[in-house]
Structures are given as C-alpha cells and as structure tokens.
Structure 1
C-alpha cells in the first residue's frame, strides 16, 4: 500500500490560499491510482482561532467539495488532515476521509483539546473514534495532541485498527517528544503509524515537519526534514498480524483488573 505524505507550510488565517496550495501539491505529487494521501492538521486556517467565526469552513462544505474533487480526479484515498469547521455555532478541529470514488468514509473530531494553543477556549471536543478500511486494512485518524493519550489509541487497536494516521501542527520545541510518542504508540499497539506534521511559522510557533512512517516494532521507516515536501512510502501491511501473534499484548492484557483498580481508587477518593 503506497502512502503519500504532504508536508506543507500553512498561511495563517487564509483558507483560500491554503486551498490553492493543497491543490498545487496534489498536482505536483504525481499521484498513482489507489494511493493514500495525507495532509497535516488545521491546514485551512492554521491556529488563527480568534477569527474562526469569519474563516472556519461552514459545516465543512468547502473542504468536502474540494477533497471529493481531488479524490475522484487522482483516484486516491485522502486523509484530509484536519480543518477548522463551524457546525451550529460550534467549532471543531475535524478530519474528513474521502474514498477514490468521492465518498466520505469517516469523519473525526479532535477529542483532546490543547490548552497551550487555546483550543479549549475556541473549539469543541469530539467524543468518537473513527475508522475506515482500505484493502482489508483498518485505519484510524487522530489529530496532534491526541498522541499523548495512549488509552485512546489502545481503544482503536482493540477495535481492529492496524494503521494510525496522525495529522499535526506539532511545535519545534517538542520535536523529541513527537518522535518518541509516535514510536511508543506504534510499539504498544503493534501498528503502523503515519504522521504528517506541518512546517513553517505562525505568530506564536515554529513547526519542524519531521513527518514519519513507523512500523509496528517502532522502527522509523521514513522521516522528513523541516522543509515543505512530498514523500511516499510503500507499506507492507502484512507485517501487523505476525507481530501481534509473536507478542500477544491484546490477549494478555487485563482490562477487568485495570477497571477494578480505577473503581477502587475512585471509591477511596470519595472516602477522603
């Protein structure tokens, strides 16, 4: 399975310019039918959150129309990074996944909002995992700060996810954490991780890129630098099942024990 990473710069608060840049990257990527193309987080607006009322995509209509057109034109599956959308007066950091035929396969709203970038002030959190299947392989999209919550990833793995797709605007000062957390999520869930981070700057942050492909043993198969670029990697998705069979962490897990301890701690807290 061929995956294509579009590591791009994002113009702060300018959806029209960012849309044109995405279209240019698709044209430049020399895409082949059947590939999976992945974009970074919040590529339509950047983190210009104070202007969401003005610039967020109303019900995601513009983004969906664009991604459907690109998917049909190039005959590829698109994990559309994420965009700022407005729905009934609320704002979400939302991923759309579109099939080669132009069908919306999955929608995911970022579940964990990052206070250091003021998401909790301006955005509403999602509360559902998302899944889609391609070539009998199950994918789940995640967004940036979700990476710090291993429970969320384990739930997806327990429901069959074999490939995690992480779209991000992860700042330079935490680059080493980005790399280690991505590897950890791959190792503990014995799954591939494909992570696409942005490059460039906004008024408050510098973004280092370093988009990656990581195998189920935590080995980095591909790592980009800090420049805007297009990269592709051919995944051997058949690696997942043998690795999960060799070290059966899902079979050996004890969720009933963990739940029992959590309930016990809650009871003790109530007594205190």
Structure 2
C-alpha cells in the first residue's frame, strides 16, 4: 500500500541563545497544529540560533533538548527533526536529530561547516550521510550549507524526500530558492527547506522562504512565506513513482563515489 506523508513545516523567529525559551515556544507551536501529521521539521540550531558560542551553549547528546524532542515526538505521535549544538568528548557538532514517535532517534552531523562565518573553527564536520526509513519513505536529512553541494545530496539510494533545516540569511535568498528547486529536480524527489525568520544576536536577518518542491521542481507549499507560519502538507508517494516511471532520468546517473 502506498503511504502518503503528512509533513509540518515550522518557520519561526528564534530566541537568541536561549534554549529553554525556544523549547517552550516550539511546544506551543506544535500544540497549534490543527491536523494529524507524520513529520515535524524545525530549523537549524532551533534552540539557540546560528551561534558560534558552542562552549557555553552545547549540550551532551542526552541533554535537555534531545529529551524534549523525544517527549514531544511521543506527545504529537509524529517524528520531529532539527539540529542542536552538541558536545561529544572534546568536539562540538551541529547535529541533526531525527526522532521517531516511539522516542528512538538517528543523528546526522553537518558535513559542510560554513567557513564564511567561521563555523569550521568551532564545529567538527560530519563524515557520514543519513538515510532514514520512516512510514515507507526514505528520507535524507541535511543541514543548511549542505544545500550548496549537490554531490553530497546526490540520490544514489532512491530516497523519496530530501530535507534541509537551515539558518539561511536574507541576503542570499535567491540562492536558497534556486538550489532547493534544483535539488528536487536533479534528484527526482520531494525537497523541503525549513528556515528561520527574524534577526539574530549578531544582527543577521532571515526571511524564511521555507518551502516544499515536488519531483518536478514545482513549489507546492505556500507562497507568502516570509513571516512565521506552521503549515502541514501531504506528500504523495504516487507522484514520485509515476514521475520516475515516466521520466527515467535517475537511471542515467553517472556512477562514481566520494572518497
């Protein structure tokens, strides 16, 4: 049986470097979801904003934010994903958690640290990609700057959904919109980007543009998307199968591997 996936995007302002306030805020926003959903997507570093103050903000893997995600996933009976600042041994990571409704979880450490902002000086980069299998869907979750690197997101596993959690600045909105659409088209998968809005503690402005693109690169989410919103959409598995069967572009992929 083909299972569709109901997915909720939460585009929000963030309380700068205040994890407790952000957790409370996102609890309220999730409680406002008016229909059943399978997956809730939060922005990058959703507990702090995009901060390099890792030594003061980092949590252990089994810290308050992960436990909050586990509690909310059980409460909402939905998977929840977003990234958090994590300390592991002597290293800091921009770590995405994908938490299942039963409280189990998988992790992905951001591969491409944003050198322009000095992220590479604070955070260790990940080395392995994650493919999540959930409710009959194969999902590839990535983080912000990863969007600029198509080889890393290349669809070699025939995944159904590529998603990016982000703190992507307003001044580079054109690239964000264009690259999300391109990743959907070239990988013949749904592509979702969830970004924040507002101004952070460093004065950087964000204007959201969180969106869902289908296999053909058509935007299927709201168009007025520069303010806070909570939106739930149904992703149709049949759309993927039908399009890939008709347009067999993935079969013509170049064969190579990353080293």
TM-score by length of 1: 0.88
| More divergent stretch after superposition (197-206 vs 59-68) | 59-68
Residue-by-residue CA offset, 1:105-133 (whole Å, 9 max, x unaligned): x2111000111222111100001111112
Counterpart of 2:120 in structure 1 is 120
Deviation at 1:31, TM superposition (A): 4.8
Q: In 2, are the aligned partners of 1:5 and 1:196 still within 8 Å (CA)?
A: yes
Confirm or deny that 1:189 pairs with 2:187: yes
CA distance in 2, matches of 1:242, 1:18: 40
Q: CA deviation at 1:138?
A: 0.4
Give, in whole Å, the separation in 2 of the partners of 1:183 and 1:235: 16
CA contact (8 A) 1:187 1:216 kept: yes
2:228 corresponding residue in structure 1:
228
Matches within 5 A, 1:76-155: 76-79=78-81, 81-104=82-105, 106-154=106-154
- Select the structure of larger CA radius of gyration: 1
RMSD of Structure 2 on Structure 1 (CA) = 1.7
Deviation at 1:21, TM superposition (A): 1.1
- Check whether the contact 1:31–1:74 (CA below 8 A) recurs between aligned residues: no
Rate the CA distance shift 1:31–1:90 in 2: closer, same or farther, 3 A.
Answer: farther
The DSSP-based 3-state class of the residue aligned with 1:78 is strand
Rounded to whole Å, the distance in 2 between the matches of 1:189 and 1:64 is 30
Partner of 2:21: 17
- The number of residue pairs the alignment matches comes to 253
Cα drift, residue 30 of structure 1? 3.1
Tell me by how many angstroms 1:74 deviates.
1.4
In structure 1, how many angstroms separate the alpha carbons of the residues matched to 2:233 and 2:116?
Answer: 33
Residue 60 (structure 1) shift? 4.5
Superposed displacement of residue 135, structure 1: 2.3
Q: Indicate the residue corresponding to 1:62 in structure 2.
A: 64
* Higher RCO (CA-CA < 8 Å; seq separation 6+): 2
Asked whether the equivalents of residues 44 and 50 of structure 2 are also in contact (C-alpha less than 8 Å), the reply is no
Contact 1:168 1:195 in 2 (8 A): yes
Q: Which contiguous aligned blocks of 4+ residues in structure 1 show a shift greater than 3 angstroms?
A: none
1:42 paired to 2:45:
yes
Structure 1 equivalent of residue 237 of structure 2: 237
The structure richer in helix per residue is: 1
Corresponding residue for residue 269 of structure 1: none
3-state secondary structure, aligned to 2:142: strand
CA contact under 8 A between 1:165 and 1:193: conserved in structure 2?
A: yes
CA positional deviation for 1:17:
1.2
Query: What is the alpha-carbon distance in structure 2 between the residues aligned to residue 204 and residue 60 of structure 1?
Result: 31
1:41–1:144 CA contact under 8 A, matched in 2: yes
SS in 2 for 1:151: coil
Q: TM-score, normalised by structure 2?
A: 0.93
